Amino acid sequence: MKHATLKIWRGVAGEAGGFETYSVAFEPGQSVLDGLRALRAEVDPTLAVRFSCINANACKECVILIDGKSAYACTTRLEAREMTLEPLRNKPWIRDLVSDIAPPAERLLPPNKGTKV
Amino acid sequence: MHLVTDVLVIGSGGAGMYAAIAAARAGAAVTLIDRSLIGRGGATVMAQMTVACALGAETPDHWTHHLADTLAAGRGLCDATLARILCEEGIECVRELDGWNVGWARENGRMKQVTAPGHDRPRCVYVDFLDTGPAVARTLRTRVIRSDTIRRIGDLAVTDLAVRGGECAGAVALHLVSGEIVTLAAKATVLATGGLTRLYRRNSASANMGGDGYAIALRAGATLTDMEFVQFFPIGHLAPRLIGMDPIMWDPFRYKLGGRLLDGSMREFTERYGVTEGGRYVLARDVATHAILKEVEAGRGSPHGGVYLSFEHCSAEALRAAFGPVIDRLAGNGIDLTRMPVEVAPIAHYHMGGLRVDATMQTCVAGLYAAGEAVGGANGANRLSGNAITEALAFGRRAGSHAAARAARSSAHGWTDRAAEPAIARVRSEAAAAPQINLPHAIVELQALMADEVGPLRSAGKLAHALARMAALRDATGAQPPHAGGFDVRRLDWLDLDNMLLAAEAVARSALARTESRGAHQREDYPDTREDWRVNQLVRLRDGALAIERVPVADAPAESVTLA
């Protein structure tokens, strides 16, 4: 087993957010989403992350910023180093790694002008 | 917030989107909602290849032949009326999608059809390369968007239906973005929430397929059927770790290239289970799942606990011609099929069971319809390859048009706030109700329990133990969800686990009651198929407890039209 250090943006829209750092054990080949799911089940169930298809890169929901670049958590592999995970900067932020990514016409409410990270 | 619509469609996979299109076409105002993004959650978008329908483009065919194969695969338990709708109306749906430019693979202008296990001739259309599901979802989504009378709302998770005087009056939902409770009044409601494969550790569907539709339907007074029949896809990818691809992606490889299934010593083994493949793909899903698990149990498996699938006999050119860019994606994962086998093992894939409906897709709750995988009965004890998308399309279209007809007949909504009160009380969270357990961990525990004890190989001992563990998990989960705000995943986890436990219990209780082996339900303590068990089991929620009843199979003799 190797270990990745995940520096993750935490917080709720309307309040101040900040980074928290976690260590995740992984088998080579596993994805960042694998790491986030393990983190939720083993360490902190309050961590908000959105995904649907888990591994197929079909739902496109798990897009976040990984080391500053927009990427899918399900197709980016974990590495034995510090990796910085943040919500998208160009979408309204909701909580932790989750932003309001639905097309505007498919939202219940008009896009909240809320906090961006 | 309170919304009002003629037809409410819950779930935006293939069945839900087709239902919305059909209802709008019939003149209804439609609201299409999904707990994920519209057209991206659910199972349709994950489909890799085959859609079965008797077009007769490849060889002469007629839907009665497709029906005969469907009934045979269902091992005597199919609802013949539903199976007929699937086979007969699926053809029109596939043609309609063709007209909407879905892009079915063609050769010299005619649609290509391949043979899948259990079909007597080439019958399955597809979109290259592994793009069938995404193409179907994209095409339906485009049609949905073009309709002025379909309102689309994502990130809206239905928690319960509102029932008044035995009729469905709409639904109560949680808006994930804001954490607010939303009520929806509808003259007719279509449940297109898919199956329950998330109940299992290894599964091939989206994380939102946790059986929530079944639990919601049970609480609304609807009847489920055939809940013991969970289809395991025999050759789900196991190793090496593969990212960015669905684990069922080896099926198309087998359709086009055959492939060889090998045990841990690289020897062919299917003959030990009565089937000689000879480089072709003929093994039915239930037989293959059983064979692979028995090999592993006998110590003849591959290192990660499955068997090998090899395409080493294929040339690089043949692989490239059949799968184009997919070969590059495999290379990105370090897999060169000309030089190495992969490891595969059964993976939860589809649920044959589900809501019991009549020929209009209506449940026993008036105004509540179901479509797609959420429906039980059409596929009996084992689903034929290629029938899932066909069923999504045919049942979706039919449910949408009948729901619209009901809405047109209804002068007023049946909604009252009082009908929604129990549902709102269930989802309203209190700060003090925070559970003492890690909910995502409890979900992982339930998935392990289902895989090990309510999976493809079952026994009374395992099933009874699983039911006891489920009861303990339910106690630990508590009666109320934790306090929540916008995208508070703890409340969603609580609602999911609560629904998953009810769906899991329905599967385990049905499996425990069925003391025989048939199709996807294999009892190690009752290995034989028994004629007196050629019955369907219905599940209802009565006074908070699940009740099971046996009923005769609604079958009809299969009479195939003679082809010239």
pLDDT digits (tens, 9 = 90+) for B139-193: 999 999 999 999 999 999 999 999 999 999 999 999 999 989 999 999 999 999 9
Place B435 in a pLDDT band, splitting at 50, 70 and 90: low
Contact criterion met (CB < 8 Å) for A41 and B154: no
CA distance B454 to chain A (A): 22
* Residue among B436, B521, B482, B485 nearest B178 (CA): B485
Distance CA A117, CA A86 (A): 8
Distance CA B495, CA B316 (A): 48
Q: Write out residues 7-36 of A within 8 Å (CB-CB) of B.
A: 12-13, 27-31
Per-position DSSP letters for A43-95, written without gaps between them: T-TT-----SSTTSS-S-TTEEEETTEEEETTTSBP-SSEEEEE--SSS-EEE
Contact criterion met (CB < 8 Å) for A98 and B36: no
Q: What is the mean pLDDT of residues B476-492?
A: 82
Question: Is the model's pLDDT at B264 over the cut of 60?
Answer: yes
Label residue B326 exposed, middle or buried (CB < 10 Å: 0-12, 13-18, 19+).
buried
Tokens describing residue B358: 């009549």
* Residue among B340, B318, B315 nearest B330 (CA): B340
Distance CA A3, CA A42 (A): 15
Tokens describing residue B254: 């087998």
Cβ within 8 Å of residue B466, ≥6 positions away: B449, B450, B453, B454, B504, B508
Contact criterion met (CB < 8 Å) for A55 and B487: no
Please check whether residue B110 is in contact with residue B59, taking contact to mean a CB–CB distance below 8 angstroms. no
Model confidence, pTM? 0.96
Distance CA B133, CA B44 (A): 5
Question: How many whole angstroms from its chain centre is CA B254?
Answer: 21
- DSSP summary character for residue A112: P
Contact criterion met (CB < 8 Å) for B37 and A55: no
Tell which of A9, A15, A42, A59 to mutate to test the B interface (max B CBs under 10 Å): A59
The tens digit of pLDDT for each residue in B534-562 reads 999 999 999 999 999 999 999 876 678 88
Place B481 in a pLDDT band, splitting at 50, 70 and 90: confident
Distance CA A37, CA A100 (A): 20
Distance CA B176, CA B174 (A): 6
The tens digit of pLDDT for each residue in B356-396 reads 999 999 999 999 999 999 999 999 999 999 999 999 999 99
Tell which of B8, B30, B37 to mutate to test the A interface (max A CBs under 10 Å): B37
Contact criterion met (CB < 8 Å) for B246 and A75: no
Average pLDDT of every residue of chain A: 93
Closest by Cβ to A95, choosing from B153, B155, B487: B487
Q: Which residues of B touch A106 (CB under 8 A)?
A: 37-38, 152-154
Three-state helix/strand/coil letters over B390-426: HHHHHHHHHHHHHHHHHHHHCCCCCCCHHHHHHHHHH
Given CB atoms, is A38 within the 8 Å cutoff of chain B? no
Determine the residue type at B338. Answer: T
Please check whether residue B423 is in contact with residue B433, taking contact to mean a CB–CB distance below 8 angstroms. no
Indicate which residue of B141, B202, B285, B523 is catalytic.
B285
Bridge partners (DSSP) listed for residue A77: A31
Question: How many whole angstroms from its chain centre is CA A48?
Answer: 7
Cα–Cα distances (Å) from B24 to B93, B106, B393, B443, in that order, read 16, 31, 15, 38
Q: What is the mean pLDDT of residues B391-416?
A: 96
Q: What is the ipTM of this complex?
A: 0.95
Backbone angles phi, psi at B473, to 5 degrees: -65, -40
Backbone angles phi, psi at A45, to 5 degrees: -70, -10
For the question of residue B285 being annotated catalytic, the response is: yes
Backbone angles phi, psi at B531, to 5 degrees: -60, -35
The tens digit of pLDDT for each residue in B218-255 reads 999 999 999 999 999 999 999 999 998 889 999 999 98
Please check whether residue B16 is in contact with residue B9, taking contact to mean a CB–CB distance below 8 angstroms. yes
Closest by Cβ to A53, choosing from B206, B240, B486: B206
* Residue among B290, B225, B195, B199 nearest B517 (CA): B290
Query: What's the length of chain A?
Result: 117
How many A×B Cβ pairs under 8 Å? 126
Question: Is the model's pLDDT at A116 over the cut of 60?
Answer: no
Of B40-44, B189-193, B531-535, which range is least confident? Answer: B40-44
User: Residue B508: its pLDDT value, please?
Assistant: 98
User: Residue B564: its pLDDT value, please?
Assistant: 64
Tokens describing residue B4: 């009002």
* Residue among B159, B232, B251 nearest B498 (CA): B159
Q: What is the mean pLDDT of residues B516-527?
A: 97
N-to-C CA span, chain A: 33
Contact criterion met (CB < 8 Å) for B152 and A41: no
Distance CA B347, CA B247 (A): 8
Contact criterion met (CB < 8 Å) for B46 and A60: no
Distance CA B424, CA B475 (A): 21
Average pLDDT of every residue of chain B: 94
The tens digit of pLDDT for each residue in B54-108 reads 999 999 999 999 999 999 999 999 999 999 999 999 999 999 999 999 999 999 9
Distance CA B288, CA B263 (A): 13
Q: What is the mean pLDDT of residues A2-25?
A: 96
Q: Write out residues 50-69 of A within 8 Å (CB-CB) of B.
A: 50-61
Distance CA B9, CA B352 (A): 21
Backbone angles phi, psi at B221, to 5 degrees: 95, 5
The tens digit of pLDDT for each residue in B66-81 reads 999 999 999 999 999 9
Cβ within 8 Å of residue B562, ≥6 positions away: none
